[in-house]
Structure 1
Amino acid sequence: MLSLLLHGRRSRELHQWRNLIYSPLSNLLLLPQNPFTSATASDPTPEEDDNERKRKTFTTLYLINSLGLTPKLAESISSKANFDEKRNPDSVLKLLRSYGFTDPQISTIISAYPRFLVENPEKTLRAKLHLLKLNGASSSEITEVVSKVPKILGRRGHVSNITGYFDYVKDILRDDHDSVKQTNRTRNVSVLRELGVPHKLLLNLLISKAKPVCGKERFEESVKKIVEMGFDPTSKKFVNALYVFYELSEKTIEQKVGVYKKLGFTADEVWATFKKWPYLLKYSERKITQTFETLRGCGLTEEEVRVIVKKYPECVGTSEEKIVGSVETFVKLGFSGEEALMIIKRHPQCIGLASDTVKSKAEFLVKEMGWALKDVASTPIVLGCSLEKFILPRCNVIRALISKGLIGEMPAISSALTSPKQRFLKYFVEKHEEVSPELISIFTGDRVYVA
């Protein structure tokens, strides 16, 4: 009841907001148009940035020296959890080693759950490992199972929840082919393993509340359907499709297909979109129609909405707040109403991107690189790229070329940021043989670009 009340209140707020902002669409231009002139209250100070960099550097060196991780992996972990003293992480490593985990196994666990390095190991790890021991697990079983599926230690909630989870994992890792006491579960797991479904996906199936691998007739029917539809057993889509066919009756599936047909899809289009994202059929008729109405309320035509759903069917599950909030974010950054819609039409994955990350990317591309907002709007895929790992390396190469006078003007944003890596290197690095070693160093981050 509370959720319905909150939804109703939020819907009224969004309706009022739409009346103010979207009617007509050009009124979007009345929102602030100069977003790059001042820092917000939440922007980090230079001192905070410097401290964060120092913590990441300390963490990276610690992981390299303590576990022998590669610099790349250590840097990746430090971006998710970092520290400036080694007492806590030392305790974590000591605890895991005391249970017989090798350094490679510990590396696997820490890579999956970097937060262990900064949390109290007595609360997060020792109690869980001790419980597994009490439950009868041997040291070799614990190290084998946990290192292959670190998710066991990452489970939140009461520690007793992990014992059943642990037993499920053992069922997967154990060879049950010759067992004369096979249950439906072990038999079905064997079928999926023979099809090529990887361990990590089997685990998700086993711990699901729906228990799609515990039945017999329904399981066989569901697997037969998704295999006939051509789903790749090694992909997550295969498992998602199994959930859908297992949980929904044929009548319900027909009704869901009918909802999309009412919205202008053909049956073939529905199933083609389902193959892209099987959860397309899990939502209620109300949720499906609401998403279509929200997108139309943003100024898109019915045909444009259908195209967006075909390209990015995940948007069906996106909340009304996120859809409207995305358009609002683009407009506040200075994009016109038409440009905001262009962004969504060309790259629907931009729906739901965090406003602060969109702002930081747009600010860099416009303020630092000099591209116009309309250039960004025409190539919106760049807003979904990592600023640190993708945009900066390429842009630093471009800025170095301009500063050296090797290119006269800023290239098109599509050439710089959407071309494949090898094509980019060919035209912006290898072409300039006299400085290509320096440009490679800038591109890989081995050398810092200084403007």
Structure 2
Amino acid sequence: MPNLTTFTEIYGNYHKGDTFTVSYLINSCGVSPRKAKELSNRINLKTPDGPNAVIDLLNNYGFTKTHLAKLVEKHPLVLVADAENTLLPKLKFFRSIGLSNTDMRKILIANHTLNRSLKKFFIPRYEILRRVLGDDQEVVRAITNSRFGFTYGDTMNLVPNIEVLRQSGVPQASITFLMINSATVAYWKHSRFVEAVNTAKEIGLNPLRTNFIVAVEMLLIRSKAVWESRFEVYERWGWNREMALQVFRKFPCVMKLSEETFAKKMSFLVKDMGWLSEDIAEYPQVIAYNLEKRIIPRFSVIKILKSKGLIENKLHLSAIICITEKKFLENFVVSFQKDLPLLPDVYGGKVKPSNVM
């Protein structure tokens, strides 16, 4: 009788016509009724004992009911796993290499990894990453930043791809940068990876610089059709092909910008601010910054100061865009506030630049 009472207390929302699975998903896992009915087509629970053991274990590793609901909605079969013999060894392994409870939650919710073998899958992948990166701290960063790559990346490509980079003179710091920031690229098909590395060299990228890694990534993820389309856009803004390649050598991330975003930034800088497209090509990093939050406010202030003859016309782009917020305020706002009291309001977007010029 006590067991029946406990069952009733726990599954008080059990309605006639609902299955035990549906009620359990709703009451113990926090899944919505609609989603619970949908999931009941994929999983059939007989008793609460096994699922309860799974939930208790996950609770011990920092899973709240909200996290549990997300996990179960994506991977309902986790509830029928053997908590003690299957799940616990894997969770212990994750913790042993330095993954926090927060990291583990993100990995497990993002990818269905708990059904993989510890000895045949997790440990070999960890050991490969350990050889590539050198220490556990970097391995943890690589796993957490690229959860998909760790779970689904083809290690048969990873090892030779990393070797190609090393043979090309790419330093360990750049390889670590790749594995932490763009790891999926490192798992790319080997022949395509080699082609991208060779193309980056032909364009003139220096393997000793981090930009080389970024260039390889851009060459892999952007198709030839996209490249040609971008060249056409660049040409409309005064960059011929050679100049565009020069920009790419300096700032490969230019290829991450959509054509629309690139055009908006160039339009403001060239048409509104009067900068030459050739000057921007000399320092293309300027177009990496946020248009509304950084580029427009800063260059609006600079345009006013130039119009008043308060600063020189040949001010370098880097002196405007790359300095810290504090330094910009000191150099170009506070310093001239006595002459132009409305300058802080222009910078804050409260007053139009035309009202001050």
TM range (shorter): 0.5 to 0.7
Amino acid in structure 1 at the alignment position of 2:280: V
Partner of 1:319: 222
Instruction: Kindly state the Cα deviation for residue 200 of structure 1 after the two structures are TM-superposed.
Output: 6.4
Q: Matched residues in 1 for 2:285 and 2:255: separation? A: 11
Q: Larger relative contact order (C-alpha < 8 A, sep ≥ 6)?
A: 1
* 1:386 equivalent in alignment to 2:274: no
* 1:220 equivalent in alignment to 2:105: no
Instruction: Kindly state the Cα deviation for residue 369 of structure 1 after the two structures are TM-superposed.
Output: 0.8
User: Quick one: structure 1 residues 181 and 288, their matched pair in 2 at CA, closer, same or farther if it must change by over 3 Å?
Assistant: closer
User: Quick one: structure 1 residues 140 and 446, their matched pair in 2 at CA, closer, same or farther if it must change by over 3 Å?
Assistant: farther
Q: Matched residues in 2 for 1:240 and 1:355: separation? A: 27
- In the TM superposition, what whole-angstrom CA distance separates every residue of 1:384-442 from its partner, at most 9, and x where no partner exists? 22211211111122233234443353632221112221111111012124157632222
- In the TM superposition, what whole-angstrom CA distance separates every residue of 1:28-63 from its partner, at most 9, and x where no partner exists? xxxxxxxxxxxxxxxxxxxxxxxxxxxxxxxxxxxx
* 1:189 equivalent in alignment to 2:74: no
Q: TM-score, normalised by structure 2?
A: 0.65
* 1:199 equivalent in alignment to 2:102: yes
Which of 167, 174, 189 in structure 1 is aligned with 2:59? 174
Instruction: Kindly state the Cα deviation for residue 287 of structure 1 after the two structures are TM-superposed.
Output: 1.8
* CA contact 2:205–2:212 (8 Å) conserved in 1: no
Amino acid in structure 2 at the alignment position of 1:398: I
* CA contact 2:346–2:353 (8 Å) conserved in 1: yes
Partner of 2:7: none
Q: Matched residues in 1 for 2:197 and 2:166: separation? A: 13
Partner of 1:255: 160
User: Quick one: structure 1 residues 409 and 248, their matched pair in 2 at CA, closer, same or farther if it must change by over 3 Å?
Assistant: closer
Q: Matched residues in 2 for 1:162 and 1:295: separation? A: 50
* CA contact 1:241–1:279 (8 Å) conserved in 2: no
Partner of 1:81: none
Partner of 2:301: 397
User: Quick one: structure 1 residues 161 and 421, their matched pair in 2 at CA, closer, same or farther if it must change by over 3 Å?
Assistant: farther
User: Quick one: structure 1 residues 346 and 175, their matched pair in 2 at CA, closer, same or farther if it must change by over 3 Å?
Assistant: same
Q: Matched residues in 1 for 2:312 and 2:173: separation? A: 47
Percent identity among equivalent residues? 18
* CA contact 2:238–2:277 (8 Å) conserved in 1: yes
User: Quick one: structure 1 residues 300 and 445, their matched pair in 2 at CA, closer, same or farther if it must change by over 3 Å?
Assistant: same
* CA contact 1:185–1:214 (8 Å) conserved in 2: no
1:36-47 to 2 correspondences below 5 Å: none
Partner of 2:189: 284
What SS class does the counterpart of residue 434 from structure 1 fall into? coil
* CA contact 1:259–1:285 (8 Å) conserved in 2: no
- In the TM superposition, what whole-angstrom CA distance separates every residue of 1:245-293 from its partner, at most 9, and x where no partner exists? 88545x654433344467x346858844544533343111232134346
What SS class does the counterpart of residue 440 from structure 1 fall into? helix
Partner of 2:327: 423
* 1:136 equivalent in alignment to 2:41: no
Q: Matched residues in 1 for 2:83 and 2:104: separation? A: 24
* CA contact 1:231–1:238 (8 Å) conserved in 2: no
Instruction: Kindly state the Cα deviation for residue 138 of structure 1 after the two structures are TM-superposed.
Output: 4.7
Q: Matched residues in 1 for 2:307 and 2:28: separation? A: 59
Partner of 1:407: 311
Q: How many residues align?
A: 300
User: Quick one: structure 1 residues 170 and 425, their matched pair in 2 at CA, closer, same or farther if it must change by over 3 Å?
Assistant: farther
Partner of 1:310: 213
Q: Matched residues in 1 for 2:161 and 2:114: separation? A: 20
User: Quick one: structure 1 residues 187 and 360, their matched pair in 2 at CA, closer, same or farther if it must change by over 3 Å?
Assistant: same
Instruction: Kindly state the Cα deviation for residue 136 of structure 1 after the two structures are TM-superposed.
Output: 3.1
Q: Matched residues in 1 for 2:344 and 2:58: separation? A: 44
Q: Matched residues in 2 for 1:399 and 1:450: separation? A: 10
Larger Rg over CA atoms: 2
Instruction: Kindly state the Cα deviation for residue 362 of structure 1 after the two structures are TM-superposed.
Output: 0.8
Q: Matched residues in 2 for 1:201 and 1:257: separation? A: 26
Q: Matched residues in 1 for 2:40 and 2:349: separation? A: 44
Partner of 1:366: 270
* CA contact 2:250–2:284 (8 Å) conserved in 1: yes
- In the TM superposition, what whole-angstrom CA distance separates every residue of 1:168-227 from its partner, at most 9, and x where no partner exists? x978962259xx943533443355357244636633444425x27742123234345548
User: Quick one: structure 1 residues 188 and 239, their matched pair in 2 at CA, closer, same or farther if it must change by over 3 Å?
Assistant: farther
* 1:240 equivalent in alignment to 2:146: yes
Partner of 1:68: none
Gaps of at least 5 residues in structure 1 are 1-130, 147-152
Q: Matched residues in 1 for 2:24 and 2:203: separation? A: 60
Q: Matched residues in 1 for 2:103 and 2:150: separation? A: 19
Q: Matched residues in 2 for 1:273 and 1:415: separation? A: 27
* 1:341 equivalent in alignment to 2:242: no
1:48-67 to 2 correspondences below 5 Å: none
Q: Matched residues in 1 for 2:136 and 2:300: separation? A: 43
Gaps of at least 5 residues in structure 2 are 1-18, 44-50, 63-81
Instruction: Kindly state the Cα deviation for residue 315 of structure 1 after the two structures are TM-superposed.
Output: 2.2
- In the TM superposition, what whole-angstrom CA distance separates every residue of 1:103-148 from its partner, at most 9, and x where no partner exists? xxxxxxxxxxxxxxxxxxxxxxxxxxxx9x9453457964xx89xx
Partner of 1:42: none
Which of 297, 300, 316 in structure 1 is aligned with 2:203? 300
